[in-house]
C-alpha cells in the first residue's frame, strides 16, 4: 500500500474516532443503590449482601452495594437522610424513632422476613446463671445505633429485669467484638441479637466453652406484658458446639427503603429476590423466611406503609388483599 493510501486510511480512522468521541454511543445509566445491613459477622450482612447480589444479577442497569452499618437504628436514620436507599431494621425501631421525632414517613416497608434471636453469652465456667446476675459485671450491649443496644439492652433489660446501665458496666461492642471479648475474657457477658445460627458464635463455641443464658417463662411473660412484638423461641441443642437447647425470644425484622424510590425499581428488586427462591434460600438459613406469606407478619403495628413497588408485586401474586390474614 502506498504511503498516500496509508495516510488516507489513517485519516478516515481518526475521523471515525473523533465522531465517536463527540457523539459516543449512549447506554442506559446505571442506578447505584446502597443497602444498609449490620455487622459483617451478623445475619443482616449475609442477607443484605445476598439480596444485593440477586438484584445485580437480575435487574438491568442496577448496582446494589451492601453497606456494613451499626444496623437497625442507624439504617433507619440514614434512610431518612437519603444516605442509604434500602436496608434492614428490627420491627420496633421505626415506632421508637417516631416517638423521638424522626420523620419516619420518608421510609416504606418492602417486606417482613426473618427474626433476630436474643443470645446472651457467657463462658461455660462463668458465675453468671441468669440476667439478674449482670449486676456489677462488664457486659457487651451492642454498638451505638443498633436495635441490639436501643431495644434489647436498654428497653428489654429494664422492663424484664429492672436492669439499667448504672447497675453494670456496658461495653458498646459489635457482634465480632463481643465474641472476641468472651474469647479473650475481657467481658463477663455479651449480647448478640441476630438470626440463628450466627457464624461468629459458631466459631467462638469451638474455641471456648460457652453457655447461653436462658430466659425463663416468667421472665418472658413479664417482658411481653410491655413488648407485644417479642415471640418465644428455643435455640436448638448443638446449634453452637456443646451448647444445650436454650429458651430465649425473638423479634421480626423488616426490609425497608426510601419512600421516594421509583415504584418500578422497588418492584423489580423485590421480584428479583422472591422469584428466585432457590438462590435466595441459599444465602443464609434464615433467608427462606423472606417469602410472601411472611411479608406482612406484625406489619399492622409498624407506623409506615408498604412501598408502592412492593404493593404492585404482592398484587401480582394475589396476596395483597389477603394481607390481614398474615399479620400474626
Query: What are the pLDDT tens digits along the chain (328 aa)?
Result: 444 544 444 444 344 334 334 444 444 688 999 999 998 878 899 999 999 999 999 999 999 999 999 899 999 999 999 999 999 999 889 999 999 999 999 999 999 999 989 999 999 999 999 999 999 999 999 999 888 999 999 999 999 999 999 999 999 999 999 999 999 999 999 999 988 889 889 999 999 999 999 999 999 999 989 887 888 999 999 999 999 999 999 999 999 999 999 999 999 999 999 999 999 999 999 999 999 989 998 888 899 999 999 999 999 999 999 999 988 7
Strand partners, 193: 118
Instruction: State the Cα–Cα distance between residues 23 and 298, nearest whole angstrom.
Output: 53
pLDDT computed for residue 28 by the predictor: 60
Instruction: State the Cα–Cα distance between residues 254 and 79, nearest whole angstrom.
Output: 13
CA 305, distance to chain mean position in Å, is: 19
Are 166 and 141 a contacting pair, CB within 8 Å? no
Are 99 and 151 a contacting pair, CB within 8 Å? no
If one looks up domain 116-251 in CATH, what number appears? 3.40.190.10
Beta strands in the chain, from DSSP E residues, in sequence order: 31-36, 62-67, 86-90, 107-123, 138-140, 169-171, 189-194, 210-212, 231-235, 246-258
If one looks up domain 31-113+254-326 in CATH, what number appears? 3.40.190.10
pLDDT computed for residue 214 by the predictor: 97
pLDDT computed for residue 8 by the predictor: 45
pLDDT computed for residue 231 by the predictor: 85
Q: Which sign, positive or negative, has the C-alpha torsion 143, 149, 152, 158?
A: positive
pLDDT computed for residue 129 by the predictor: 96
CA distances from 111 to 54, 70, 247 (A): 16, 20, 27
pLDDT computed for residue 24 by the predictor: 44
Omega cis (within 30) before 265: no
Q: Angle CA(181)–CA(186)–CA(188) in degrees, nearest 5?
A: 85
List every span in the chain annotated with CATH 3.40.190.10.
31-113+254-326, 116-251
Amino acid at each position: 500500500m502506498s504511503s498516500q493510501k496509508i495516510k488516507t486510511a489513517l485519516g478516515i480512522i481518526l475521523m471515525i474516532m473523533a465522531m465517536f468521541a463527540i457523539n459516543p454511543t449512549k447506554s442506559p445509566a446505571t442506578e447505584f443503590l446502597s443497602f444498609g445491613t449490620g455487622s459483617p459477622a451478623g445475619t443482616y450482612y449475609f442477607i443484605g449482601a445476598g439480596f444485593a447480589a440477586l438484584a445485580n444479577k437480575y435487574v438491568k442497569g442496577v448496582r446494589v452495594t451492601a453497606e456494613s452499618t451499626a444496623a437497625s437504628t442507624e439504617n433507619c436514620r440514614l434512610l431518612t437522610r437519603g444516605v442509604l436507599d434500602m436496608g434492614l431494621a428490627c420491627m420496633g425501631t421505626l415506632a421508637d424513632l417516631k416517638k423521638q421525632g424522626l420523620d419516619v414517613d420518608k421510609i416504606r416497608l418492602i417486606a417482613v422476613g426473618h427474626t433476630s434471636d436474643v443470645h446472651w453469652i457467657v463462658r461455660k465456667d462463668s458465675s453468671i446463671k441468669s440476667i439478674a446476675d449482670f449486676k456489677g459485671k462488664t457486659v457487651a450491649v451492642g454498638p451505638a445505633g443498633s436495635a441490639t443496644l436501643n431495644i434489647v439492652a436498654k428497653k428489654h433489660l429494664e422492663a424484664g429485669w429492672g436492669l439499667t446501665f448504672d447497675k453494670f458496666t456496658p461495653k458498646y461492642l459489635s457482634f465480632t467484638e463481643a465474641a472476641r471479648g468472651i474469647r479473650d475474657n475481657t467481658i463477663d457477658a455479651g449480647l448478640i441479637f441476630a438470626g440463628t445460627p450466627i457464624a461468629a458464635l459458631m466459631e467462638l463455641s469451638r474455641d471456648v466453652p460457652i453457655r447461653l443464658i436462658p430466659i425463663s417463662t416468667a421472665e418472658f411473660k413479664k417482658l411481653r406484658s410491655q413488648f407485644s412484638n417479642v415471640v418465644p423461641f428455643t435455640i436448638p441443642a448443638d446449634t453452637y458446639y456443646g451448647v444445650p437447647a436454650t429458651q430465649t425470644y425473638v423479634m421480626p425484622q423488616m426490609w425497608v427503603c426510601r419512600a421516594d424510590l421509583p415504584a418500578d425499581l422497588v418492584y423489580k428488586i423485590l421480584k428479583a429476590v422472591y422469584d428466585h427462591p432457590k438462590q435466595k434460600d441459599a444465602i443464609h438459613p434464615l433467608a427462606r423466611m423472606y417469602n410472601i406469606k411472611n411479608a406482612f407478619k406484625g406489619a399492622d403495628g409498624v407506623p409506615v406503609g408498604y412501598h408502592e413497588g412492593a404493593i404492585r408485586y404482592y398484587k401480582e401474586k394475589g396476596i395483597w388483599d389477603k394481607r390481614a390474614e398474615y399479620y400474626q
